[in-house]
């Protein structure tokens, strides 16, 4: 988490290029599926779950997979929800990575499209502001839909009892 994304961007780019994923959806999606923050958040959340739950499930005859599906996943909904919202917002607002791995206009993201509306000769501020409002709408919808999960996820480890 202490290493900035700009320090690893060249290694990530070389990996994407070696997989022949340049200018594809995989290049935009796959590198953002796992982050240090996500791993740390989920690890810390799972450490708060008592071992007694696993022992009780084992005594009932549940396998490790059944314990994960039937006990851990329902308990970790707030953590998964807050991680999903955070990951979506961070990925949606990226500018540098999509600019680096996409070449065609069809694969460019909306943030790159807004920056392309700004030209040195003329700037249509009304068009740019309309585009910015359109970009903000999915972020607001994600936040409003997942607000309960986000608040529960942030407060899950804050209270004892």
Say which CATH number the domain at 146 has.
Answer: 1.10.3720.10
Q: Within a domain: residue 161?
A: no
Query: Among 149, 31, 3, which Cα is nearest to 97's?
Result: 31
Number of domains in the chain: 1
User: What distance in Å separates the CA atoms of residue 161 and residue 159, rounded to the nearest whole number?
Assistant: 7
Pull the structure tokens for residue 20.
């022949």
Measured between alpha carbons, how far is residue 127 from residues 56, 105, 106, 111 in Å? Answer: 60, 18, 20, 14
Q: Could you tell me the residue range of the domain that residue 149 belongs to?
A: 5-155
Q: pLDDT (tens digit, 9 = 90+) per residue, 96-110?
A: 999 999 999 899 998
| Cβ pair 76, 45 in contact under 8 A | yes
Q: pLDDT (tens digit, 9 = 90+) per residue, 7-60?
A: 889 999 999 999 999 999 999 999 988 888 899 989 999 999 999 999 999 999
Q: Within a domain: residue 127?
A: yes
User: What distance in Å separates the CA atoms of residue 48 and residue 87, rounded to the nearest whole number?
Assistant: 22
């Amino acid at each position: 988490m202490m290493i900035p994304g700009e320090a690893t961007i060249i290694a990530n780019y070389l990996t994407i290029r070696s997989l022949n994923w340049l200018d594809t959806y995989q290049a935009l999606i796959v590198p953002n599926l796992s982050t240090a923050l996500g791993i740390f958040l989920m690890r810390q959340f799972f450490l708060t779950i008592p071992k007694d739950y696993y022992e009780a499930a084992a005594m009932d005859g549940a396998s490790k997979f059944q314990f994960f599906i039937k006990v851990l996943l329902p308990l970790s909904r707030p953590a998964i929800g807050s991680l999903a919202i955070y990951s979506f917002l961070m990925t949606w607002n990226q500018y540098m990575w999509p600019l680096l791995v996409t070449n065609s206009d069809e694969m460019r993201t909306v943030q790159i499209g807004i920056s392309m509306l700004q030209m040195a000769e003329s700037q249509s501020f009304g068009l740019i502001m309309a585009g910015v409002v359109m970009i903000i709408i999915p972020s607001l919808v994600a936040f409003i839909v997942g607000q309960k999960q986000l608040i529960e996820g942030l407060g899950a480890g804050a209270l004892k009892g």
